[in-house]
Structures are given as structure tokens and as C-alpha cells.
């Protein structure tokens, strides 16, 4: 891998949940792997008044907790040399002047500002950075999702950021793009000739994409209740998976070649035409008390901090199409939810059944072939084929070829944020979202949100530990399909 030049990485929200749980453990891992140059500094900034030593203690506790066996005291001690802490009020010019001084102690480095704060602060932070002359050509800015809560608010934030930083300096994160198995989708599609001829409407009957979580809202009631499953996961992670599965082959792996193709997919998504169309093609759900992995768990409305009559969805499923030659008429079903039966992210490609059966009637129903791309918790591929059962009767049964990637790549996979942070430091934009992609994603989702509001749609209850409301099964059953795990 190409080397990273010496850098200053400034983490806004440096004492927050994302920094502690993901960003700092990811940086520690890259340090442990000797991927970071010796002079690379991590400058955490946050509101709290804290000494550097206190901050390091906080980071140590979190690294121990999240890295478990990968944590080592000696390695942490050398990692801690990189860490600085600066208390900063996002609106105080005097505090930015101190940041500037700290950065100028060490000029000539790559400079990246990671904004891991509420997106409401992005505009103020960028304006203040510009006022101090810190946003010049060499600087990069990293924006954590969610960027706004609809097209209008997202545009407002992006307008403010782009007044200061050029598009080539902006790294919009969707952490799913940093996941190893998600990048492996590109290898599957564009490193193999086998599937490509069948990757279209003549062969594919439908596509299902699921991101299911067994956890609930994890002390994020305030954020989650304002957000819901559509904005939290479908608008970004699920749409990104859809784009990679459905896009045309890009001419290269360069950022714009890939992002141009993804954008075409989002722009070709069948729009939601009316509230009635939204009602017919979407299902909202909200979990009730139930059991996950044998343990009783409370319902969404009983979670601490959730308003008593909240109408926020913790589950969403929908049906869409991609209006182009390759995919015309092929349903794409997307779903995501909290407190589902298990943690699972997968893409299922259902192929059409054979056109005519030569087998005796009753020799078990023939099923179309199915390719299951498992992204998490394990990374694998299963290809379902029909085979003859041993014996003197000619009966068939689906069996599958099973590829477990960990059998071939025993090395520890990189966490999504390790990959994304190193790409920021190297200045590689391929795995980040361009503004037009984000605008197109919101433009497609806005009518769904408006449709729900117009019809006063109430989320349908589902018991925690299940696969969501029955209406989600009905959504695919209307087309004669079933969600993969139910078959």
C-alpha cells in the first residue's frame, strides 16, 4: 500500500461516542500495524475542558474496551505520543486561533479535519477554519453522516461546506463503503466474467438487500427518535449497496468513474409518485418487547428517552425498480431494522426458474437458482442449485455451494474506519460520497417521508427478535417471492 505522508488529523467531537468507539481504536490499529508515519499527529478537539493526560486516559479505557485482545499497553504508550487535546468551542474565533497556532508549530503536513459532531455545527466549523486560513488547498474535510434530515437541510449544510472547501477536498463518509465485504462486491462483479452476462433482467427475477441488527437504539434515543430507520440506514447504507450491485461497470476504479455510475443508479430509481404509491410500496415498523438471543428486551416505546407516543420507525422495507435497460421490471426489495432476529447484512440475487421442467410431476418443486452474498457477520457466498436426491426416485432438492472468505483470507480484516481514515490521509476519494450522489439519494427519499406524513402512517408493531412486521412478508409475497431467511 502506498505510504501515508506526515499528517495532522484534527478530530472535532474528539471526546464523543464515534471518536472513542470507532475512530481512535481504528487509528490505534493502523499505528500498531506501522501504517502511520512517525510524525503523524492526532489533535482531538471538543468542548470539555480537559488536560491532555485526562484525555489520554479516556482514550486508553476505550481502546482497551473495544480492541480487547488487540490492545497492548506498550503499543498504546507509543500511540499516545501522537495525541493532543485542545478544548474548543465551535463558535469561538479565539479557540480556532489556538488551533491554528498548534497546527503551525508543525507546518508542511497533510491536514485533515474530521467533523464527528452534529451536522448542525458543520457550517460554523468550516467558516471558522476558513477565517483562520486553515481551509486552503492542502486541507481535507471529512463529514460524518447523517448530513441533514431531508434534501433541503442537506443542501444547506453542503452549501455552507462548499463555500469553504472544494469538492475534491470533501470526504463524505458512509462507513459501509469502507467495509471489506462491500469492496469485495466490486471484485465479485468486475473481477469475474462469470456472472456479468446473467446480471440483468433476462436472468434475474428479483434482488433483496437486507441490513438487520439485533441491537436496539443503544442510548441514542434522542438522535434515533428524530431520525428513524429510513434516514439512518436506508437513505445511505442500503442505497450504497444497491448502487454497487446494480451499477454499470465503471471504466476504472477512479473516484469519479465509480461515483458517476453509482449516481446513474440512484437517478434511475422508480420515484414514489403519490402517498398511495408510498403506502403500497413501503412498510414501516416499530419493535415491541420481545426476546433477542433468548434474552427479554424492552419495546421501542419503553426505551429510556423515547417519547411515550413516538411514531418513529425502527424498521422499513420497500420495493423499487431501476428504470434502465439492464434492470427494467426487476423488483429490488430493501429492508432494515433494529431488534431483529439476528445481525445480518446480505444481498440475495434470485434468478428466474427454468422455463420447462422435464422431471416427473411431484418430484419436489423446482426453485430458481439463488446467489446469496453475505456481508456480515461472516463474509461468504452461497450459490443455490438444484440437485438429485440419492435413491431410485428422481426427486430434486436445493443445495448450495458455500464459499467462506475467511478460509482463504485468514488475516484479520480491516475495520471500515481504518480503511476510510487511511484513505482520507492518502487523499483517495473513491470510497466517499460525492455531493450529487447525496442530493439524488435525498431527492428519492423525500417523497417517502412526505407520503408517510400525508397518510398519517403509523409504524406497524413487530416483536423484538423477529424479522419485522408481517406486512413486510406480504410486500414480497404479492410478487410471489419470500425473503431469503424465511424459505
Catalytic residue among 237, 309, 352, 408: 237
- Residue of the chain from 213, 225, 303, 374 that contacts ligand BG6 (CB under 6 A): 213
CA–CA gap between residue 355 and residue 349 (Å, rounded):
18
Report in angstroms how near the CB of residue 213 gets to ligand BG6 at its nearest: 5
Nearer to ligand BG6, 103 or 238 (CB): 238
Nearer to ligand BG6, 85 or 462 (CB): 462
Cell of 181: 465485504
Report in angstroms how near the CB of residue 63 gets to ligand BG6 at its nearest: 19
Report in angstroms how near the CB of residue 218 gets to ligand BG6 at its nearest: 7
CA–CA gap between residue 89 and residue 46 (Å, rounded):
7
Nearer to ligand BG6, 206 or 232 (CB): 232
CB atoms near residue 137 (< 10 Å): 8
Which positions ≥6 away from 455 have C-beta within 8 Å?
A: 275, 276, 278, 279
Nearer to ligand BG6, 18 or 58 (CB): 18
Q: Does 214 bind ligand BG6 (CB under 6 A)?
A: no
Report in angstroms how near the CB of residue 334 gets to ligand BG6 at its nearest: 15
Among 166, 117, 178, residue whose Cα is nearest residue 143? 117
Q: Which residues of 190-215 are buried (b: 16+ CB within 10 A; e: fewer)?
A: eeeeeeeeebebeebbbbbbbbbbbe
Cell of 145: 453522516
CA dihedral angle for residue 266, residue 269, residue 275, residue 276, rounded to 10 degrees: -160
Strands 282-288 and 315-320: antiparallel
Nearer to ligand BG6, 7 or 432 (CB): 432
| Partners of 111 in beta bridges | 8, 139
Nearer to ligand BG6, 146 or 250 (CB): 146
Report in angstroms how near the CB of residue 54 gets to ligand BG6 at its nearest: 28
Measure the CA angle with vertex 429, ends 381 and 447; round to 5°: 75
Report in angstroms how near the CB of residue 351 gets to ligand BG6 at its nearest: 27
| Partners of 83 in beta bridges | 42
x/- map, 222-261, ligand BG6, by CB under 6 A = ----------xx----------------------------
Residue whose entry in the numeric block shows the C-alpha cell 439512518: 232
Give the SS3 label for residue 427: coil
Give the SS3 label for residue 306: coil
CA–CA gap between residue 426 and residue 434 (Å, rounded):
17
Using CB under 6 A as the binding criterion, the count of chain residues that bind ligand BG6 stands at 3
Report in angstroms how near the CB of residue 233 gets to ligand BG6 at its nearest: 6
Region 95-124 residues binding ligand BG6, contact defined as CB under 6 A: none
Query: Do the Cβ atoms of 29 and 415 come closer than 8 Å?
Result: yes
Nearer to ligand BG6, 147 or 429 (CB): 147
| Partners of 347 in beta bridges | 209, 373
| Residue 356 annotated in active site | no
Nearer to ligand BG6, 233 or 371 (CB): 233
Q: Which helix (H) or strand (E) holds 437?
A: helix 435-455
Residue nearest ligand BG6 (C-beta atom): 232
Report in angstroms how near the CB of residue 50 gets to ligand BG6 at its nearest: 26
Among 85, 82, 54, 65, residue whose Cα is nearest residue 25? 65
Cell of 73: 499497553
User: For binding to ligand BG6 (CB under 6 A), which residues are involved?
Assistant: 213, 232-233
Question: Which residues are known to be catalytic?
Answer: 237
Amino acid at each position: 500500500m502506498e505510504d501515508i505522508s506526515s499528517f495532522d488529523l484534527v478530530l472535532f467531537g474528539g471526546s464523543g461516542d464515534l471518536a472513542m468507539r470507532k475512530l481512535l481504536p481504528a487509528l490505534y490499529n493502523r499505528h500498531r500495524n506501522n501504517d502511520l508515519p512517525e510524525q503523524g499527529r492526532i489533535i482531538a478537539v471538543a468542548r470539555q475542558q480537559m488536560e491532555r493526560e485526562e484525555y489520554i486516559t479516556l482514550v486508553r479505557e476505550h481502546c482497551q474496551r473495544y480492541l480487547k485482545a488487540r490492545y497492548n499497553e506498550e503499543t498504546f504508550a507509543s500511540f499516545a505520543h501522537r495525541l493532543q487535546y485542545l478544548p474548543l468551542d465551535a463558535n469561538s474565533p479565539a479557540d480556532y486561533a489556538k488551533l491554528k497556532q498548534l497546527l503551525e508549530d508543525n507546518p508542511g503536513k497533510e491536514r485533515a479535519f474530521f467533523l464527528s459532531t452534529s451536522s448542525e455545527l458543520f457550517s460554523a466549523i468550516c467558516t471558522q477554519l476558513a477565517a483562520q486560513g486553515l481551509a486552503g488547498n492542502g486541507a481535507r474535510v471529512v463529514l460524518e453522516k447523517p448530513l441533514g434530515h431531508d434534501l433541503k437541510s442537506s443542501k444547506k449544510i453542503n452549501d455552507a461546506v462548499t463555500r469553504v472547501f472544494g469538492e475534491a477536498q470533501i470526504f463524505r463518509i458512509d462507513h459501509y463503503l469502507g467495509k471489506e465485504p462491500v469492496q469485495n462486491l466490486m471484485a465479485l462483479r468486475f473481477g469475474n466474467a462469470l456472472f456479468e452476462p446473467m446480471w440483468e433482467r433476462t436472468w434475474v427475477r428479483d434482488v433483496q438487500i437486507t441490513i438487520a441488527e439485533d441491537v436496539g437504539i443503544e442510548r441514542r434515543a434522542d438522535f434515533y427518535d428524530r431520525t428513524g430507520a429510513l434516514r439512518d440506514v436506508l437513505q445511505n447504507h442500503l442505497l450504497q449497496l444497491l448502487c454497487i450491485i446494480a451499477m454499470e461497470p465503471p471504466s476504472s476504479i477512479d473516484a469519479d468513474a465509480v461515483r458517476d455510475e453509482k449516481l446513474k443508479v440512484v437517478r434511475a430509481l422508480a420515484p414514489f409518485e403519490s402517498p398511495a404509491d408510498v403506502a403500497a410500496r413501503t412498510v414501516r415498523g416499530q419493535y415491541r418487547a420481545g426476546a433477542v438471543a433468548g434474552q427479554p428486551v424492552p419495546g421501542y416505546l419503553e426505551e429510556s428517552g423515547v417519547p411515550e407516543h413516538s411514531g418513529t420507525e425502527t424498521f422499513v422495507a420497500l420495493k423499487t425498480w431501476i428504470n434502465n435497460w439492464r434492470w427494467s421490471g426487476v423488483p429490488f426489495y430493501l429492508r432494515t431494522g433494529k431488534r431483529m432476529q439476528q445481525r445480518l447484512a446480505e444481498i440475495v440475487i434470485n434468478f428466474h426458474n427454468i422455463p420447462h421442467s422435464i422431471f416427473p410431476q411431484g418430484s419436489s418443486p423446482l426453485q430458481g437458482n439463488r446467489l446469496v452474498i453475505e456481508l456480515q457477520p461472516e463474509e461468504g457466498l452461497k450459490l443455490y442449485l438444484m440437485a438429485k436426491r440419492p435413491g431410485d426416485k428422481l426427486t430434486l432438492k436445493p443445495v448450495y455451494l458455500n464459499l467462506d472468505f475467511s478460509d482463504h483470507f485468514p488475516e484479520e480484516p480491516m475495520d471500515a474506519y481504518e480503511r476510510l481514515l487511511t484513505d482520507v490521509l492518502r487523499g483517495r476519494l473513491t470510497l466517499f460520497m460525492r455531493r450529487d450522489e447525496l442530493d439524488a439519494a435525498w431527492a428519492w427519499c423525500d417523497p417517502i417521508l412526505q407520503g408517510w406524513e400525508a397518510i398519517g402512517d403509523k409504524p406497524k408493531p413487530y416483536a423484538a427478535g423477529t424479522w419485522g412486521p408481517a406486512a413486510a412478508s406480504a410486500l414480497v409475497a404479492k410478487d410471489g417471492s419470500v425473503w431469503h431467511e424465511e424459505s
